Structures are given as structure tokens and as C-alpha cells.
Amino acid sequence: MAEKEKVKCIFCKGEAKLHYEDLNLLDGKMTLKGEPYYKCTVCKKEYVTSNQMKGTEEKINSFYITRPVIATGRSLAITLPPDISNFYSIKKGTRIQIIPESKTIFKIKLA
């Protein structure tokens, strides 16, 4: 859905103009480019609409990493890319919890 270039400010009813800004997440590990928001020319407040927030949320929730399951001895294993292991400070010997949620979903939590 196309954003309107100008709308009425939800705070002061002045004119709010559409702006775009990069949104850095996870200490800069993930950047969403050109996320829309409105800034009022009168009261200078910045805000996002529910549609803008929903679009950003969809982008965030669509982020995932696909990794193959490998065999190591008689066990199966999943490797972590260096960016993820560095971000979470995971090293050899770090303990994790595997939490089953359904037949197709489980969570991994640092113990």
C-alpha cells in the first residue's frame, strides 16, 4: 500500500510529512532499509501508523537462517554461522536448552 506524502498530525493536527530512515536492530547486525514514518512540521513529533508498524513487523518476522542438519558420529548437529555465534557469545562447550513447541517448531535457549 502506497504511503501518503502528507497527512494530518495525530498529535496537533498540523501537517506531517512522510520520511524514511534505516532501522538498525540487534546492535547493527540487522538493518531494515528505508522504513517509513511521519514527522510533523508543527510540533516536530515523529510517529508511525499501524500499517507502517505492521509492514516493519512482517519484515522482522521474515528474517531467518536456513542451515542443514549434518551427521557427527552417531548424532545429528546444526551448525551456527559465525555472526550468530559471535553475537550471542556462543563458544564450544556453551550449554543450550532445546524446547519443543510442536512437531515442526522448537526453540533454542542459552542455558
For the question of whether the overall pTM of this predicted structure is more than 0.95, the answer is: no
Do both 48 and 75 map to the same domain? no
User: Quick one: pLDDT at residue 65?
Assistant: 87
On whether residue 21 sits in a domain, the answer given is yes
Least Cα distance to 50 among 32, 41, 38 occurs for 38
Helix (H, G, I), strand (E, B) or coil at 96: strand
User: Quick one: pLDDT at residue 1?
Assistant: 59
Domain limits at 16? 6-61
As for how many domains the chain has, the answer is 2
pLDDT in tens, 75-97: 999 999 998 898 899 999 999 99
> What integer is the mean pLDDT of 9-34?
93
Do both 15 and 46 map to the same domain? yes
d(CA 8, CA 12): 8
Average pLDDT of the residues of the chain: 94
pLDDT surpasses 90 at 109 = yes
pLDDT in tens, 49-78: 999 999 999 998 888 889 999 999 999 999
